Amino acid sequence: MNPKNPKTAHFVVSQGFGGHVATTRDGGKSWSRSHNMLADHVYNPTLPASGDRANISGPENISISPADPERVHLAGNWNPAMSRDGGKTWVESARGADITCFHDIRHLDGVTYGAAMDEGSFATRDGGATWKALLPLKWQAGLSGHHWRVLPQKLPGGRTRVVCTVSPWAHGHDFPVKVVVSDDGGKTFEEAKGLPDYRTHANTMWGEGHGRALCADPTDPDVLYLGIDGDPEGGNAGGGVFKSTDGGHNWTQLPSQPGSRRMFYGLAVDPTNPKRLVWGACGATAGVYVSEDGGGSWTKTPGFGDWIFNVEVTPKGTIYAGGSQLWRSDDHGRSFRAVTSLRGVTVTGIAFDPADERRVWISATTWDGNRAGGLYESVDGCRSWTEITGDIPYSKPLVVRYDPASRQLWAAGPGAFRTRR
């Protein structure tokens, strides 16, 4: 209610992912409705090809400024909004808001790429001040949805390839996991072939399989590996590890699979031996699985059964695995030892400085609403750790990536943050 004019009031109506704002200026005798707002494609580049206006999405709260009752603020699912004329018109007010749930951040040649649930894949050339949408540019059934991984690669001739993994929204149809590939730096994309035409559900992390793991052979950019969680069921071949030898355009499921296909981010290639693949698994047979023959066979690290959410391998071949602790292997995965002493959290983000492998960063999270979690740094090869969460408002970033060119460390999850290290 307007504190200076009690006949003026606003309320919100939520209708699934839609909704509107209702306003009266005569004490409730008549009402007007606002269903959309002027979109801000600079600070929220989602779906730029859909036009200048965005629908109000799942409004939850509305607030009138006591100093200026004509200024009204609206909170909802994706698009916070503001009105400067008492609710007659609305503009998106996303600048500075943590509106994105990132699942990947990658750096290449001064460009930072991001992949996010619901919103797609993006790129920034100014350190995150503004972002440009790569895919999708407008809503498209079977392609719009959750983006998990984005992999930029520098190719001969100066070209840039961008590979993204997608779990499309259902919208009445159970679309399978997809990979989309651009060979022109993200200007155009095409869907990859050879992936399952079904969704997996048995032994998955979130009820159905997702393509949350993607990595490349560091000696051959055309050789990529993809991880989709889920066991075979009902006659299908399940998820697991898939391989492409043409830069992600075509895929085949490896004939041999790790002993558990329930996974999160855990897939990596050892730069010291590209035939060595590392898989981090959760579930009843959780742990780390290593293949020495490019996925032809797998061996589980004996005596090690922690749920592993992520794995990384350094240029010197050190393997890190994130679970209830950060685990380290200096013998190519034959054994692991804990190098942290954390409590009640899960290590999901792992990064290192390729020029100085003593410098390691991790992020820890919980899967509930408590405040536990944070960012940690070691500068002495994991012998000691310092918390560096600092002023990040939501202390549970899922992703940590280091850009050696700019010497910046990025942490992402609900929002993206960076600092120079």
Distance (Å, rounded) from C-alpha 375 to C-alpha 362?
6
Whole-angstrom Cα distance, residue 80 to residue 59? 9
Q: Specify the CATH number of the domain 102-420.
A: 2.130.10.10
User: Which mean pLDDT values do the consecutive 10-residue runs of the chain (421 residues) have?
Assistant: 80 87 91 92 89 90 90 87 93 85 97 96 94 94 94 94 95 88 96 96 95 97 97 96 98 97 97 98 98 98 97 98 98 98 96 98 91 93 97 92 97 94 95
Structure confidence at residue 1 (pLDDT): 66
Best CA proximity match to 299, nearest among 245, 247, 259, 246? 259
Q: What is the pLDDT of residue 78?
A: 77
The sheet carrying 160-168 orders its strands as: 145-154, 160-168, 178-182, 190-191
Give the domain ranges of the chain: 9-92, 102-420
Q: Supply 345's token pair.
A: 């959290």
pLDDT of amino acid 278:
98
Q: What is the pLDDT of residue 97?
A: 77
Looking only at the bridges linking them, the beta strands covering 415-420 and 408-413 are antiparallel
Looking at residue 67, what is its pLDDT? 87
Bond prior to 136 in cis (omega within 30° of 0): yes
Q: Which residues are paired to 399 by β-bridges? A: 412
Task: Say whether 48 sits in a helix, a strand or coil.
Answer: helix
For residue 397, the SS3 value is: coil
Distance (Å) of CA 245 to CA 178, 237, 274, 343, 369: 17, 21, 13, 41, 42
Residue 303: partners with Cβ closer than 8 Å, 6 or more residues away:
335
Radius of gyration from C-alpha coordinates of the chain: 23
